[in-house]
Amino acid sequence: MPATKLSKAAAHDPASRIFDLDVSSLRELNQALHNLTPGSNETAWEVLHPKGSHSVAVGVDQPVSIDVRGSVGYYCGGMNSGSTITVHGSAGPGVGENMMSGSIIVKGDASQYAGATGKGGLLVIEGNASSRCGISMKGIDIVVHGNIGHMSAFMAQSGNLVVLGDAGDALGDSIYEARLFVRGKVDSLGADCIAKEMRPEHLELLQGLLDRAGVTGVKPSEFKRYGSARTLYNFNIDNADAY
Amino acid sequence: MTYKNPPTTPRKSATFDDYTLSEIRRAAATGIYDIRGGGAKRKLPHFDDLLFLGASISRYPLEGYRERCDTSVVLGSRHAKKPIELKIPITIAGMSFGSLSGPAKEALGRGATLAGTSTTTGDGGMTEEERGHSKQLVYQYLPSRYGMNLRDLRRADAIEVVVGQGAKPGGGGMLLGQKISDRVAEMRTLPKGIDQRSASRHPDWTGPDDLEIKILELREITDWEKPIYVKVGGARPYYDTALAVKAGADVVVVDGMQGGTAATQEVFIENVGQPTLACIRPAVQALQDLGMHRKVQLIVSGGIRNGADVAKALALGVDAVSIGTAALVALGDNDPRWEAEYNELGTTAGAYDDWHEGRDPAGITTQDPELMKRVDPVAAGRRLANYLKVMTLEAQTIARACGKNSLHNLEPEDLVALTIEAAAMAGVPLAGTNWIPGKNGF
């Protein structure tokens, strides 16, 4: 194990591992996480002084919890498969990209492409997300407490995007089957994205997502639902001006 | 006596030839551009326009079938802990499951493994057929990220970040609804029967600086074991190669415009990009200028057909070539034994390219369970292995005649060009002269 300094709490918990990126390298951190085997009792991890490092805790494939104390750069938690990662700061571009399962919670803001192509799991951004949030999402659930930028959910295929604040231009452009729930205003909808009726099953789904994301004091009925009009699912020359 | 005017011969326009006229009529009738598979069909400067100079007095040849001529190559030695070691410098290019049938993918794996080389996945993700039968498998990381997952990434032997494709630099893909079986739909997380648009750009990076960080992420995920290839369409090979190297690529793949595609607009295939021959020297020059030639390996693809093409590409400075279309033909694509069925589809063996329609009589570019039974993966794999071995023998024959004990010792000095165009593009002299057009710049 590389040189690390144990916090007081961790010193009493044999299951906790602390990596101080001022002392250890990113490679050492990720290799240690990848070396985890099923049933490992090293279930609680802490990363100190990330200072905007890229690729923190990427490719984790075990159900451990990882607390990152500070802000991260690109692709934090990329391809996460089963772990719970909490970023106690803000996240750079591509947080949780292609996540398979598990969850990522960003206490601050997230930059572009949050949750891009995510296949599963839950991504919670307690601040705002930038453009292209949920781009090409493929089953992931994303809950953003604040606002999201333009071109979010572009070509989104599956999963749910919940936004408690506002959405920028071209929301859901060329969307497939993903569901978008926005509580605030939407600057504009992209090609083939329309507002849809909020039926009881959607209210129930949304309540479940809000509960999982730790959102309280907000009712599902305050949201509007958006999704695909499905008019561009098969190419037709008469729709060419929609592109 | 009346004088009759002599008969005249009807003259058709060279500009509005029969093909062009038929395309205008087709566009007017259907309201959609032609979509097809394959690569550029127009005549382009190619390897046929180059010739080797065998040895006489100034060079000393090696004995055919007696003196060793090495064909092996190592790819990804720059950063990867586990570089790819191949017996032959001919790899199988990425072709997607979805575009190709499962048995066809299995056959590619079997054939490549028998011949000692690698296969490559495609836009549809990794299949058990291919992983199970490929000793070495390159996993493509594409803009669509269909089927992309952590475990397959780690099951791969190398990762190829696909930025562009020779048939359509800057273009995305379109798999029409009729080819979307349950299995294809599931792998791509899309409803069955709808058109599947593959994006033209990666969703989570936007330029070379981002690419560098993306490659770092892929290395971290795979513990720096796997070579990272970067594949670009042959459009700006000098700059794209240089930027791929800057971003940290272990291997750069440049795909010229004769490189195939599953389904793209005809107008795109025939009018965007540069011929394979024109892409090699600029790509090699970029590596040389950066001091990275032979350190970052270069793979070139697009219209490679025989051992002479392989030898010529290697002589120009390439480390390995990749084949797609030729591999499909080796498996049985466009085989004349299905001629009657090709005729029913309004075409002929050798010209069938409507792969996206899913009705391939050869059972290769289809998801129709009855048609795909026509591919025997064992027999088709054997044919591919035979073909790869023949290409290798052909290249060795040429290399020995040039006095080389390794295919990789072939060099531009071994070549001349038959045309000024080829001489300029390849950077070798016009035959019978010492003139290299454009020697002082591209």
**Which tens digit of pLDDT belongs to each residue from A161-180?**
999 999 999 999 999 999 99
- Given a cut of 60, whether residue A7 has pLDDT beyond it is no
Residue closest to B322 by CA, chosen among B193, B232, B222: B232
Q: According to the model, what pLDDT value does residue B198 have? A: 78
Stated pTM of the model? 0.94
Q: What secondary structure letter does DSSP report for B193?
A: T
Question: Of A4-8, A219-223, B35-39, where does mean pLDDT reach its minimum?
Answer: A4-8
Task: Tell me the residue length of chain B.
Answer: 442
* Cβ <8 Å between A55 and B220: yes
Q: How close is the nearest chain A Cα to the Cα of B218, in Å?
A: 9
String of DSSP letters for B324-372: SHHHHHHHTTT-GGGHHHHHHTT--TTT---GGGS--TTSSS---HHHH
- B208 at the A interface (CB within 8 A)? no
pLDDT tens per residue across span B51-81 = 999 999 999 999 988 899 999 999 999 999 9
User: How many beta-carbon pairs under 8 angstroms link A with B?
Assistant: 114
What mean pLDDT value characterizes chain B?
A: 94
Contact A54 B197 (CB under 8 A): no
B120 - beta bridge partners? B94, B138
What is the rounded distance in angstroms from the CA atom of residue B362 to the CA atom of residue B183? 20
Percent of chain A having pLDDT more than 90? 87
- As a whole-number percent, the residues of chain B with pLDDT over 90 amount to 83
Tell whether the model's pLDDT for residue A1 goes beyond 50.
no
The torsion angles phi and psi of B378, rounded to 5 degrees, stand at -70, -50
Alpha-carbon Rg for chain A, nearest whole angstrom, is 19
Q: Do A54 and B224 touch (CB under 8 A)?
A: no
Contacts of B30 in chain A (CB under 8 A): 237
CB contact under 8 A, B220 and A59: yes
Nearest Cα to Cα of residue B202 among B255, B259, B162: B162
pLDDT over 60 (residue B297): yes
Q: Is B87 helix (H, G, I), strand (E, B) or coil?
A: coil
Provide the shortest C-alpha distance from residue B78 to chain A (in Å). 18
Predicted complex: ipTM over 0.85: yes
- If we measure between CA atoms, which residue out of B215, B193, B189 comes closest to residue B202? B215
Which residue, B131, B111, B113, B112, is CA-closest to B121? B131
pLDDT class of B34 with cuts at 50, 70, 90: confident
State the best of A60, A83, A123, A234 to mutate against chain B, taking most chain B CBs within 10 Å. A234
* Structure confidence at residue B356 as a pLDDT band (50, 70, 90): confident
The DSSP annotation for A106-170 comes to ESS-B-TTTTTT--SSEEEESS-B-TTTTTT-EEEEEEESS-B-TTTTTT--EEEEEESS-B-TT
Chain A touched by B204 (CB under 8 Å): yes
Tokens in use for A33?
């996480």
pLDDT of residue A8: 47
B153 reaches A (C-beta below 8 A): yes
pLDDT band at residue A188 using 50, 70 and 90 as cut-offs: very high
- At B94-115, the pLDDT tens digits run 998 888 999 999 999 999 999 9
Band (B194; pLDDT cuts 50, 70, 90): confident
B4, burial (CB in 10 Å: exposed 0-12, middle 13-18, buried 19+): exposed
Predicted confidence band of residue A242 (pLDDT cuts 50, 70, 90): low
Query: Using the beta-carbon criterion (under 8 Å), do A58 and B197 form an inter-chain contact?
Result: no
Which residues of A fall below an 8 Å CB-CB distance to B?
26-27, 30-31, 34, 54-55, 58-59, 61, 73-75, 78-79, 81, 93-94, 97-98, 100, 112-113, 116-117, 119, 132, 135-136, 138-139, 154-155, 157-158, 174, 176-177, 233-235, 237-238
Establish if B149 touches chain A: CB-CB under 8 angstroms.
yes
Chain B: closest CA distance from residue A55 (Å): 5
| Span B380-439, pLDDT tens digits | 999 999 999 999 999 999 999 999 999 999 999 999 999 999 999 999 999 999 999 988
Q: Count the neighbouring beta carbons within 10 Å of the beta carbon of residue A25.
A: 12
Chain B positions in Cβ-Cβ contact with residue A138 (cut-off 8 Å): 145, 189
Measure the CA–CA gap between A70 and A55, rounded to whole angstroms: 14
SS3 call for A60: coil
Q: Is the pLDDT of residue B191 over 50?
A: yes
Is the Cβ pair A98, B224 closer than 8 Å? no
Q: pLDDT tens digit string along A195-240?
A: 999 999 999 999 999 999 999 999 999 999 999 999 887 777 676 6
pLDDT in tens, B247-282: 999 999 999 999 999 888 899 999 999 999 999 999
Q: Which amino acid is at B329?
A: V
* Chain A residues touching B188 at Cβ < 8 A: 157
Cβ contacts (< 8 Å) between A119 and chain B: which residues? 148-149, 189
CA distance B346 to B339: 11
Nearest CB neighbour to A157, from listed B30, B190, B216: B190
Q: Check pLDDT > 80 for residue A36.
A: yes
- What's the pLDDT band for B441 if we cut at 50, 70, 90? low
Question: CB of B378 within 8 Å of any CB in chain A?
Answer: no
**In the block, residue with structure tokens 């506002």:** A166
Q: Whole-number mean pLDDT of chain A?
A: 92
Q: Which pLDDT tens digit goes with each residue over A38-75?
A: 999 999 999 999 999 999 999 999 999 999 999 999 99
Average pLDDT, integer, range B219-226: 98
pLDDT over 70, % of chain B: 98
The whole-number pLDDT of residue B120 equals: 97
CB-based contact, B53 to chain A, within 8 Å? no
User: Is residue B442's pLDDT more than 60?
Assistant: no
Determine the pLDDT at residue A3.
41
Count of all residues that appear for chain A in the document: 243
CA B196, CA A170: separation in Å to the nearest integer? 20
pLDDT in tens, A76-92: 999 999 999 999 999 99
Q: Write out chain B residues lying below 8 Å of A156, CB-based.
A: none
Better pLDDT: B431 or A3: B431
Q: Of B39, B167, B100, B186, whose CA–CA distance to B358 is shortest? A: B100
pLDDT band, residue B202 (cuts 50/70/90): very high
Among the partner-chain residues B205, B217, B224, the one whose CB lies closest to the CB of A58 is B217
CB-based contact A31 B223, cutoff 8 Å: yes
For testing the chain A interface, which of B155, B204, B209 should be mutated: the one with the most A CBs within 10 Å?
A: B204
Cα A214–Cα A215–Cα A217 angle in degrees, nearest 5: 135
- C-alpha A192/C-alpha B62 separation (Å) is 65
- In this predicted model, which residue has the larger pLDDT, B31 or B387? B387
Chain A CB within 8 Å of residue B210 CB:
yes
